Amino acid sequence: MSDVKERPGLTAGDDQQVLVTLTVGSQLCGVPVLAVRDVLGEQAITRIPLAPPEIAGSLNLRGRIVTAIDLRRRLRLPPAPPGQRLMSVVAEQGGELYALLVDQVSEVMSLDAATFERNPPTLERNWADFSTGIFRLDGRLLVVLDVGRLLAFSDEA
């Protein structure tokens, strides 16, 4: 089937994929646990002038400045309802920390790697552009997000 290198969070011999599950909009998503540095509740975010709209601002994490990415904007979804508290999933890319703003962080799930599937052709483009694949869970789709692609702003015009 697919090569281990194509499945994030796996190494040779692994038969499980461990994901931090989260919700963006109404969609259940997962991020490989090895990509997550921290999970934070609502934080004070300082707006950054002239930043792209997906950049919500910056926050202070134990003395380190962290760029906050609004995943709803990044995924071209409607904004969160006013007053909704957001959580942050902190990831590291290129030596910098980024806080991915999500609606909710749920649990760490260990899923059978054999059930991992490539993105189906019916997956909306805004999700497929930032996903490595999916898991089907009891009638619900879990979209596995690619943190590298979510944070690759320099490749866009």
Report domain extents, the chain.
4-150
Specify the pTM.
0.84
- Whether the Cβ atoms of residue 100 and residue 71 lie closer than 8 Å to each other: yes
Copy the structure tokens of residue 29. Answer: 């998503």
pLDDT at 139: 84
pLDDT at 6: 46
> What is the CA 129 to chain-centroid distance, rounded?
12
Residue 4 clears pLDDT 60, i.e. is over it: no
- Whether the Cβ atoms of residue 30 and residue 117 lie closer than 8 Å to each other: no
- Whether the Cβ atoms of residue 69 and residue 150 lie closer than 8 Å to each other: yes
Q: What is the pLDDT of residues 66-124, one digit of tens each?
A: 999 999 999 999 998 888 899 999 998 888 899 999 999 999 999 999 999 999 999 99
Phi and psi based region of residue 40 (left: phi greater than 0; alpha: psi -120 to 50; beta: remaining): beta
Q: What is the pLDDT of residues 16-56, one digit of tens each?
A: 999 999 999 999 999 999 999 999 999 999 999 999 999 99
pLDDT at 94: 83
Give one DSSP letter per residue of the chain, joined into a string. ---GGGSTT--TT--EEEEEEEEETTEEEEEEGGGEEEEE-S---B--TT--TTEEEEEEETTEEEEEEEHHHHTT-PPPPTT---EEEEEEETTEEEEEEESEEEEEEEEEGGG-BPPPTTS-HHHHTTEEEEEEETTEEEEEE-HHHHT--TT--
Residue 11 clears pLDDT 70, i.e. is over it: no
Q: Which amino acid belongs to residue 151?
A: L
pLDDT at 154: 61
CATH code of the domain occupying 4-150: 2.40.50.180
